[in-house]
Amino acid sequence: MKPVIALVGRPNVGKSTLFNRLTKSRDAIVADFAGLTRDRHYGNGRQGKYEYIVIDTGGFEPDASSGIFREMAKQTQQAVAESDVVVFVVDARAGVSAQDHDIANYLRRLGKPCLLVANKAEGMQSGVQLSEFYELGLGEVYPVSAAHGQGVRGLVEQALEPLNLPEPEDDGGPQEGSGPVKLAVAGRPNVGKSTLINTWLGEERLVAFDMPGTTRDAISVPFERQGQKFELIDTAGLRRKGRVFEAIEKFSVVKTLQAIESANVVLLLLDATQGVTDQDAHIAGYILESGRAVVIAVNKWDAVDDYQRQMLERSIETRLSFLKFANLHFISAQKRQGLGPVWTSIVQAHKAATCKMPTPILTRLLLESVQFQTPKRVGGYRPKMRYAHQGGMNPPLIVIHGNSLELVTDAYKRFLEGRFRKEFNLVGTPLRIEMKTSH
Ligand code: GDP
Ligand code: GDP
């Protein structure tokens, strides 16, 4: 599981600037999909080998009448509680404020690793000007400049160091053929996650094994279905009680993100009676960003009429258009309808996500595509594509080598994507294409 860093601090100290630094988009391709809602408060980051989740808790808004902590959104408070380390941002130029003291008191009571960061410290002589922050009682003051990118690398190291993280594996990503298909069922509260899971686990064809020694934090249920091994991983908002899954009251974005990140395939569950909500679109956006394989199932299909069904199909088309590579199913977990095809899609998505794409086939396909449609000339230069190889799986990554490849348009990349998808039958997985120009 990726560690979670929460950014806290009063408004205007530079949290969102820092957040943007810490989450520099890992993959530009993800950025420009129509319909993709960007929730700016949660993001993935990477520093060297280490990957982490960052939360920008915008919730410490000042409110004279009721006190700032009462005003903290529940979700924000929960996010801080669920984080592994808190980065408390103060303004090196403005100095210590009363609000900083309030926040410091709150954080001390929390008793979790906390790093005090003085932002806007560019061009400052640290010793003298930062000494007043020691009165917050949180130890060392760490100077950074989020705007200028100074000290940000070191900040991540400082923040993660006390967690004693294990060395990550090679690329941290799931490998082909290594054990069961890890499956996460993601969705808002009440869409029917626990009903579906209990229906599944209650089926005779599906053999669930009890795993000894599951801890509070890591719930996973291994099972087998038609010879295929699966592992249902800890799903946001669900807790296991004996052999049955139960929904817990609060929905946790952090748990959802972590579940998505550790899965090979995510089943995104929607509620037919509610349509596609903002929260659904956010979760869908996280899934896309994670690069995991996806299957979408609209639950409670039994409870809607024809008109609602039509509206729903249309809103999925528009609001979740960025997941159009995923298979879509209409099911009723309660009435056990339509569940078989969901399994077929899960297995297919996993196969696609972990497929092997040999260099000769990729290169042949690339050169054929170029012959069929030549990339546009830009400013006297034409991108020249030479060969392609596979750079990773789950999600599959195709690396294209050549010259002037930075000139390749998004439209052309989509054209290539379509051809690669067709050749390798890549249904249910995102596909990433990277251009490597040699000079
Ligand atoms: P937030 O409200 O805590 O999220 O703060 P923002 O990230 O929106 O930043 C508030 C203001 O501080 C903006 O005008 C930023 O440009 C500015 N700012 C952020 N980081 C720095 C920095 O490192 N140095 C300076 N001088 N200004 C900064
Ligand atoms: P979770 O919070 O996502 O785990 O959702 P639950 O599994 O607890 O289900 C929420 C509510 O939806 C419960 O009242 C279920 O009985 C109901 N529900 C679940 N699946 C279906 C379904 O297929 N059809 C209908 N009509 N109701 C369902």
User: For residue 89, what are the β-bridge partners?
Assistant: 117
E strands in 198-250: 206-208, 220-225, 228-233, 238-241, 244-247
Looking at the fold, whether 364 and 326 belong to one and the same domain comes out as no
pLDDT at site 273: 94
The number of the ligand nearest the C-alpha atom of 143 reads 1
Task: Among 91-95, 242-246, 378-382, name the one with the lowest average pLDDT.
Answer: 242-246
Ligand 1 atom at minimum distance from 144 CA: 23
Q: How far apart are CA 326 and CA 294, in angstroms?
A: 6
Q: Using only C-alpha atoms, what is the Rg of the chain?
A: 24
Residue 168 is assigned to a structural domain of this protein: no
| Residue where a domain stops, chosen among 352, 368, 403 | 352
- 192 lies in the same domain as 337: yes
pLDDT digits (tens, 9 = 90+) for 86-104: 999 999 999 999 989 988 9
Using a 6 Å cutoff on CB, does residue 40 contact ligand 1?
A: no
CA separation for the pair 7, 324 (Å, rounded): 33
User: Measured in whole angstroms, how far is the alpha carbon of residue 366 from the centre of its chain?
Assistant: 30
**Tokens, residue 232:** 């249902």
Which of 332, 352, 372 is the endpoint of a domain? 352
Ligand 1 centroid from CA 150, angstroms: 13
**CATH number of the domain residue 406 falls in:** 3.30.300.20
Which pLDDT value is given to residue 144?
95
Q: Is 119 in the pocket of ligand 1 (CB under 6 A)?
A: yes
Q: Is 67's C-beta closer than 6 angstroms to any atom of ligand 1?
A: no
Q: Are residues 346 and 370 in the same domain?
A: no
Pairing of strands 85-91, 114-119: parallel
What is the predicted pLDDT for the residue at 410?
86
Atom number in ligand 2 closest to CA 195: 7
Closest residue by Cα to atom 24, ligand 1, is 120
Residue 176 lies in a domain: no
Contact 139, 115 (CB under 8 A): no
Strand, helix or coil at 40? coil
CA distance 240 to 122: 49
What is the number of the ligand closest to the CA of 300? 2
Residue 17 has pLDDT above 70, yes or no: yes
What number is the average pLDDT over the span 302-329? Answer: 93
Any domain includes 169: no
Question: How would residue 376 be classed by pLDDT, with cut points 50, 70 and 90?
Answer: confident
Higher per-residue pLDDT: 17 or 43: 17
Q: What is the pLDDT of residue 31?
A: 43
Asked whether residue 320 falls in the same domain as residue 363, the answer is no
Could you tell me the distance, in angstroms and rounded to a whole number, from the CA of residue 108 to the centre of ligand 1? 25
Q: Are residues 407 and 286 in the same domain?
A: no
Predicted confidence (pLDDT) per residue in 146-169, tens digit? 999 899 989 998 899 888 777 665
pLDDT > 90? residue 188: no
* Dihedral sign, Cα of residue 88, residue 92, residue 94, residue 96: positive
Q: Is 13 in the pocket of ligand 1 (CB under 6 A)?
A: yes
Tokens standing for 90? 């103060």
Alpha helices in 161-300 (DSSP H): 193-202, 253-262, 278-290
Q: Which atom of ligand 1 is nearest to the CA of 10?
A: 3
Query: Is the Cβ–Cβ distance between 294 and 424 less than 8 Å?
Result: no
Percent of the chain whose pLDDT exceeds 90: 46
Tell me the CA–centroid distance for residue 282 and ligand 2, in Å: 21
The pLDDT score that the predictor gives to residue 270 is 97
Residue 172 lies in a domain: no
Q: 281 C-alpha vs ligand 2 centroid, how far in Å?
A: 19
Task: State pLDDT tens for residues 245-273.
Answer: 665 556 677 778 888 988 999 999 999 99
Which amino acid residue places its CA nearest to atom 22 of ligand 2?
Answer: 300
Same domain, 269 and 377: no
> In this structure, how many other beta carbons lie within 10 angstroms of the beta carbon of residue 381?
11
Q: Whose CA is nearest to atom 12 of ligand 1?
A: 14
For the entire predicted model, the pTM comes to: 0.80
Identify which of 111, 163, 98, 165 has the alpha carbon closest to the alpha carbon of residue 138.
111
Check pocket membership of 121 for ligand 1, CB cut-off 6 A: no
Residue 402 has pLDDT above 80, yes or no: yes
Best residue among 185, 188, 190 to mutate for probing ligand 2, ranked by most atoms within 8 Å of CB: 190
* Whether residues 119 and 13 fall in one domain: yes
Q: What is the pLDDT confidence band of residue 340, given thresholds at 50, 70 and 90? A: very high
* Domain closes at, from 115, 131, 163: 163
Residue 315 has pLDDT above 90, yes or no: yes
Does 200 lie in the same domain as 118? Answer: no
CATH number at residue 111: 3.40.50.300
User: What φ, ψ does residue 426 adopt, rounded to 5°?
Assistant: -85, 75
- β-bridge pairing 181-186 and 141-143: unpaired
Q: Widest CA span of the chain, in angstroms?
A: 70
Query: Which segment of 54-63, 138-147, 185-194, 393-402 scores lowest on mean pLDDT?
Result: 54-63
Give the phi and the psi of residue 92 in degrees, each rounded to 5: -60, -30
Instruction: State the CB neighbour count (10 A cutoff) for residue 411.
Output: 9
Question: With bands split at pLDDT 50, 70 and 90, how would you rate the model's confidence at 5?
Answer: very high
Number of domains present in the structure of the chain: 3
Say whether both 331 and 310 belong to one domain. Answer: yes
How many angstroms does the Cα of residue 40 sit away from the middle of ligand 2?
30
Strand order in the sheet with 141-143: 42-47, 50-56, 4-8, 85-91, 114-119, 141-143
Asked whether residue 215 falls in the same domain as residue 109, the answer is no
Given this model, what pLDDT does residue 373 score? 92
Question: Is 174 a member of any domain?
Answer: no
Six-digit token string for 125: 């002589």
- Is the same domain home to 107 and 38? yes
Q: Kindly provide the ipTM of the predicted complex, given to two decimals.
A: 0.81
Residue carrying the six token digits 């290594």: 178
Q: Which residue from 17, 57, 99 has its CB within 8 A of the most atoms of ligand 1, so it is best to mutate?
A: 17
Helical H runs in 23-174? 28-31, 68-71, 74-82, 98-110, 126-130, 152-160
Q: How confident is the model at residue 28 (pLDDT cuts 50, 70, 90)?
A: very low
Work out the average pLDDT over 75-85.
78
* Cα separation, 222 vs 233, whole angstroms: 8
Q: In terms of Cα–Cα distance, which of 290, 238, 176 is closest to 221?
A: 238
Task: Please check whether residues 200 and 290 belong to one and the same domain.
Answer: yes
Which residues constitute the domain of residue 206? 181-352
C-alpha 286 chain-centroid distance:
4
How far is the C-alpha of 36 from the C-alpha of 282, rounded, in Å?
8
Residues in the chain: 439
Ligand 2 mean position, distance from CA 356 (Å): 38
Substitution site in 194, 195, 251 for ligand 2 pocket (most atoms within 8 Å of beta carbon): 195
User: CA-CA distance, 402 to 369, in Å (whole number)?
Assistant: 15
Q: Quick one: pLDDT band at residue 379, thresholds 50, 70, 90?
A: confident
What's CA 381's distance to the chain center, in Å?
37
